[in-house]
Amino acid sequence: DQQVKQNSPSLSVQEGRISILNCDYTNSMFDYFLWYKKYPAEGPTFLISISSIKDKNEDGRFTVFLNKSAKHLSLHIVPSQPGDSAVYFCAAHFSGTYKYIFGTGTRLKVLA
């Protein structure tokens, strides 16, 4: 049972436009969510996180939105840059544990 899902395996966006990556989860007990970016043959790089007590967190070009009632979170990248092309994973975990449940990833391609 996939508790964290990223239903779009890939996404293409024009440079300068907004990229929106989506993630759905099934367990309402998750209380912390994160987004990671991964290039081929490298480890994931932490991007941004959000606690379940918030509905938005912003860091530069990256904003994460959390909709608890819909069990949905999204990552917005504005403006998108070619260097943002990578695979993006969302992850969720429970308070008091570092054990993450990862989504399957979305490959973002930003076109110049």
Among 1, 29, 42, 112, binds another protein (CB under 8 A): 42
Is 105 one of the binding residues for another protein (CB under 8 A)? yes
Q: For residue 106, what are the CA distances in angstroms to 23, 32, 37?
A: 9, 20, 10
Is 37 one of the binding residues for another protein (CB under 8 A)? no
Pick from 5, 19, 18, 1: which is nearest to 73 by CA? 5
**CB-based contacts of 43: which residues, under 8 Å, 6+ apart?**
none
Which lies closer to another protein via its Cβ, residue 39 or residue 78?
39
Which lies closer to another protein via its Cβ, residue 44 or residue 63?
44
Among 1, 70, 83, 99, binds another protein (CB under 8 A): 99
